[in-house]
Amino acid sequence: MTFVEAFGWFSASLSLVTFSMKTMIPLRTAAICSNMASITYGLLLGLYPGVVLNSILLPFNIYRLIEMRRLIKQVSQAAQGDLSVDWLKPFMKKHTVKSGEVLFSRGDKADQLYFLVEGDIRLREIDKSLEPGHLFGEIAFFSPEGVRTNTAECASDATVLRIGESALKQLYFQNPKFGFYLVRLVSSRLSSDIRRLEEKLA
């Protein structure tokens, strides 16, 4: 077996390794190695279509790997620090609502997570007003029934950011650590709510 043939088998084995990965970061890392090996093998044998294909895929895989590592870092910092949701904002869509409009009602299926940018949102059942910078609607995502426990009504014109359930699931499946940190974020919020309730009852 010549060196070129051996390198070809090595390149093929890297492709198999790529498809065997279960999580995104190892998959992207293996894909980058596979791209580089395939480019080298193609140049040795003059297989230029494969060289062109892998030359296109290589920067794409590098970009995705950097993107996922950046997400892990941002989520980790959010969970370990003040639980800021700045890392989540790029994945959310802006939505403007009018005074008196209801974002969701008690008993509705939870399909959106919200972040209040400006304005005033009132939770009817507990008569609580939310100020800008407040993440809300996340608790229902983790309840057994998956339904809203409060009605969120706009007490004034407001601007919110929102992200759907499918987008949240996509982020989770791209990086399982995202789900872990999101649970920590929600757990912290629940603990804060319990402390506030205990102080109020006391």
Q: What is d(CA 85, CA 100) in angstroms, rounded to the nearest whole number?
A: 26
Is pLDDT at 56 greater than 90 in this prediction? Answer: yes
Q: Does domain 89-201 have CATH number 2.60.120.10?
A: yes
- Of the ranges 42-46, 132-136, 191-195, which one carries the lowest mean pLDDT score? 191-195
Contact criterion met (CB below 8 Å) for 159 and 108: no
Is pLDDT at 131 greater than 60 in this prediction? Answer: yes
pLDDT in tens, 166-176: 887 777 776 66
- Of the ranges 48-52, 159-163, 173-177, which one carries the lowest mean pLDDT score? 173-177
- pLDDT band for position 119 (cuts 50, 70, 90): very high
The dihedral through the CA atoms of 13, 15, 19, 23 has a sign that is positive
pLDDT in tens, 72-103: 776 666 555 545 567 677 888 999 999 999 99
- Is pLDDT larger for residue 119 or for residue 12? 119
Total residue count of the chain as it appears in this document: 202
Contact criterion met (CB below 8 Å) for 151 and 101: no
Q: Report CA-CA distances (Å) from 22 to 18, 30, 174.
A: 9, 11, 10
**Contacts with 151 (C-beta within 8 Å, 6 or more apart), sequence order:** 102, 104, 105, 106, 123, 124, 125
Angle made by CA atoms 93, 94, 99, in degrees to the nearest 5: 135
Q: Would strands 128-130 and 121-123 be described as parallel, antiparallel, or unpaired? A: antiparallel
**Distance of alpha carbon 156 from the chain centroid:** 30
- pLDDT band for position 26 (cuts 50, 70, 90): confident
| 0.95 exceeded by pTM | no
> What average pLDDT score do residues 38-64 get?
90
Contact criterion met (CB below 8 Å) for 25 and 69: yes
